[in-house]
């Protein structure tokens, strides 16, 4: 699945489902916006007075983390995008950010995690009524493909772990959505443990009991006067009911409580750290989050078709494009009726969907002169053109260039020629 270049608004990423998923989303909520509109939309989210923060600067940090997450989502780097969205939510726990998290999880094929995230959105007291109906509809359709698991524990305060996830203290019950199939529940209370295997089916509501046997009584023979025993400090009571969120399996790092979650690469790989935007000092020394611009271009492979300006022939070219921000170096092999090469640079004036550029370089061809001697014709090229960004891995381009060659046999070749080109760039 490809992500459009225009970033999706944080409050409206619900409608984007992975192409392989059979879930049908409600009417589209997403709208395409430019960078300025997107920044204003995110500013509205992080300025929500219903979400308290200990430091006002955290609001700007959350916005910058979100923008970077959308940048990574645009490039289809899903683990990194998810890491940034989760970090933004931990920094500023707005339920609207949960919509980005849920949509990204759906794109990654993690339907159970996406459904639990939508459920968390619905349960959040700060959630407004605007998106509730759409989220409920999506959740109902996701639930048709999942198992809703309710685990009742005994004694109260028993800790539960699902598929080697973190242990979470539960007062009476825990509910979570899991993929259909086999799952292993582990329960512990003190030193006593038990395990339960669960087999769930699509659309099933399944209840399971996790009962940990009490420890056997230990006979104590009193000797002498009893010692004075200091009672341990009381521990916080476990929540009566827990709605588990991103705690199943080893794909996330957390203690299963609060808003903090960390993404792991694959199922049990290293954690993917959020890309934290840099900070700069403004206005009397206050630290303000610096919002990164989406001005990155990846390197890749390049294929072009060079056309004689007088339509007398054409040459094909293949090579590599080495990008560093807006500047790119192109190295190509050229082939027509003779062999050639091209080395050049281009500079992009813009980095959005439309990427106008100026370019210059050195084309060279190996040819036979009238005396059958092998010669090299080298020249200079200047060009202006336009690249169209299609997605994170593909773009097309076209330009018009003027080339002047040195030391050619003018009886065989022109020294000055107009050469339009069209090409495709596949990026990493």
Residues 93 and 32 placed together within one structural domain of the fold:
yes
Residue 234 or 270, more confident = 270
**Helix, strand, or coil (residue 180):** coil
Could you tell me which residues are beta bridge partners of residue 401?
A: 383, 419
- The Cα 325–Cα 276 span in angstroms is 19
Does residue 225 fall inside a structural domain? no
In CATH, what number is assigned to the domain containing residue 341?
2.40.160.20
> Could you read off the pLDDT of 405-419 as tens digits, one per residue?
887 776 667 888 999
In the predicted structure, residue 30 carries a pLDDT above the cut 90: no
Strands 173-178 and 241-243: parallel
Cis check: omega of the bond before 155, within 30 degrees of 0:
yes
pLDDT over 70 percentage in the chain: 80
Residues 329 and 283 placed together within one structural domain of the fold:
no
Strands 181-189 and 279-282: unpaired
Distances in Å between the Cα of 232 and the Cα atoms of 92, 157, 235, 375 are: 35, 17, 9, 92
> Could you read off the pLDDT of 47-68 as tens digits, one per residue?
777 787 778 788 888 888 888 8
With beta carbons less than 8 A apart as the criterion, state whether 108 and 19 touch: no
Residues 321 and 353 placed together within one structural domain of the fold:
yes
Residues 47 and 137 placed together within one structural domain of the fold:
yes
Residues 207 and 174 placed together within one structural domain of the fold:
yes
Residue 12 or 91, more confident = 91
Does residue 229 fall inside a structural domain? no
Burial of 415 (0-12, 13-18, 19+ CB in 10 A): middle
Of 353, 423, 425, the C-alpha closest to 394 is: 425
Sequence-distant (6+) residues with CB within 8 A of 139 are: 115, 118, 119, 122
Alpha carbon 142 to chain centroid, angstroms? 21
- The Cα 86–Cα 376 span in angstroms is 58
Q: Which residues of 249-286 are buried (b: 16+ CB within 10 A; e: fewer)?
A: bebbebebeeeebbbbeeeeeeebebbebeeeeeeeee
- Quote the DSSP letter at residue 346: E
Q: How many CB atoms lie within 10 A of CB 214?
A: 11
> Could you read off the pLDDT of 374-408 as tens digits, one per residue?
888 899 999 999 998 887 678 999 999 999 988 77
In CATH, what number is assigned to the domain containing residue 188?
2.60.40.1120
- The Cα 68–Cα 70 span in angstroms is 5
Q: How many CB atoms lie within 10 A of CB 337?
A: 8
Does residue 224 fall inside a structural domain? no
Residues 349 and 315 placed together within one structural domain of the fold:
yes
Q: What are residue 226's phi and psi, to 5 degrees?
A: -65, 145
Q: pLDDT at position 293, please?
A: 46
Sequence-distant (6+) residues with CB within 8 A of 364 are: 340, 341, 342, 376, 377, 378, 379
> Could you read off the pLDDT of 237-290 as tens digits, one per residue?
788 999 999 999 998 988 888 999 999 887 777 888 888 766 554 444 444 444
In the predicted structure, residue 82 carries a pLDDT above the cut 90: yes
With beta carbons less than 8 A apart as the criterion, state whether 399 and 382 touch: no
Residues 260 and 343 placed together within one structural domain of the fold:
no
- Quote the DSSP letter at residue 406: E
Residues 160 and 239 placed together within one structural domain of the fold:
yes
- The Cα 328–Cα 343 span in angstroms is 11
pLDDT over 90 percentage in the chain: 49
Band the pLDDT of 325: cuts 50, 70, 90. confident
**Mean pLDDT for the stretch of residues 115-138:** 94
Per the structure, the complete domain to which residue 134 belongs is given by 1-144+251-291
Residues 66 and 104 placed together within one structural domain of the fold:
yes
> Could you read off the pLDDT of 157-178 as tens digits, one per residue?
999 999 999 999 999 999 999 9
Does residue 220 fall inside a structural domain? no
Residues 129 and 278 placed together within one structural domain of the fold:
yes
Does residue 128 fall inside a structural domain? yes
Task: Provide the angle, in degrees to the nearest 10, between the axes of the packed helices 132-143 and 111-123.
Answer: 150
With beta carbons less than 8 A apart as the criterion, state whether 106 and 85 touch: no
- The Cα 11–Cα 94 span in angstroms is 10
Q: pLDDT at position 122, please?
A: 96
Average pLDDT in the chain: 82
In the predicted structure, residue 301 carries a pLDDT above the cut 70: yes
| Count of structural domains, the chain | 3
Tokens of 25: 């989303």
> Could you read off the pLDDT of 338-349 as tens digits, one per residue?
899 999 999 999
Residues 361 and 349 placed together within one structural domain of the fold:
yes
- The Cα 65–Cα 256 span in angstroms is 22
- The Cα 45–Cα 184 span in angstroms is 39
Q: pLDDT at position 21, please?
A: 39
Residues 280 and 311 placed together within one structural domain of the fold:
no
Q: What is the CA radius of gyration of the chain?
A: 30
């Amino acid at each position: 699945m490809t992500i459009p270049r225009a970033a999706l608004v944080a409050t409206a990423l619900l409608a984007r489902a992975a192409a392989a998923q059979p879930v049908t989303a409600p009417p589209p909520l997403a709208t395409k916006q430019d960078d300025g509109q997107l920044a204003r939309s995110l500013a509205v989210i992080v300025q929500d007075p219903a979400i308290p923060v200990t430091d006002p600067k955290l609001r700007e940090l959350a916005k910058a983390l979100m923008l970077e997450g959308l940048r990574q989502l645009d490039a289809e780097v899903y683990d990194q995008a998810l890491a940034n969205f989760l970090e933004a939510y931990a920094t500023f726990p707005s339920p609207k950010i949960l919509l980005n998290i849920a949509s990204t999880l759906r794109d990654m094929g993690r339907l159970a995690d996406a459904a639990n995230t939508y459920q968390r959105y619905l349960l959040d007291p700060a959630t407004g009524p605007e998106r509730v109906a759409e989220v409920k509809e999506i959740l109902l359709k996701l639930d048709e493909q999942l198992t809703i698991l309710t685990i009742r524990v005994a004694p109260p305060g028993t800790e539960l772990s699902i598929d080697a996830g973190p242990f979470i203290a539960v007062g009476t019950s825990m509910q979570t959505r899991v993929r259909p199939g086999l799952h292993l529940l582990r329960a512990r209370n003190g030193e006593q443990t038990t395990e339960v295997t669960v087999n769930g089916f699509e659309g099933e509501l399944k209840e399971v009991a996790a009962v940990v046997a009490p420890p056997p009584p230990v006979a104590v023979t009193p000797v002498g006067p009893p010692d004075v025993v200091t009672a341990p400090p009381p521990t916080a009571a476990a929540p009566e009911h827990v709605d588990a969120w991103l705690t199943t399996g080893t794909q996330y790092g957390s203690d299963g409580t609060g808003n903090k979650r960390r993404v792991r690469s694959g199922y049990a790989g290293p954690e993917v750290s959020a890309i934290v935007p840099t900070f700069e000092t403004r206005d009397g020394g206050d630290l303000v989050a610096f919002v990164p611009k989406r001005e990155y271009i990846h390197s890749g492979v390049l294929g072009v078709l060079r056309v004689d300006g007088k339509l007398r022939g054409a040459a094909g070219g293949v090579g590599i494009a080495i990008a560093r921000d807006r500047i790119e170096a192109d190295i190509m092999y050229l082939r027509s009726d003779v062999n050639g090469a091209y080395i050049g640079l281009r500079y992009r004036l813009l980095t959005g969907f439309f990427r106008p550029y100026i370019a210059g370089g050195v084309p060279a061809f190996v040819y036979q002169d009238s005396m059958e001697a092998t010669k090299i014709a080298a020249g200079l090229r200047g060009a202006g053109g336009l690249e169209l960004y299609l997605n994170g891995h593909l773009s097309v381009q076209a330009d018009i260039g003027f080339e002047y060659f040195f030391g050619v046999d003018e009886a065989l070749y022109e020294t000055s020629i107009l050469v339009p080109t069209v090409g495709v760039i596949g990026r990493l």
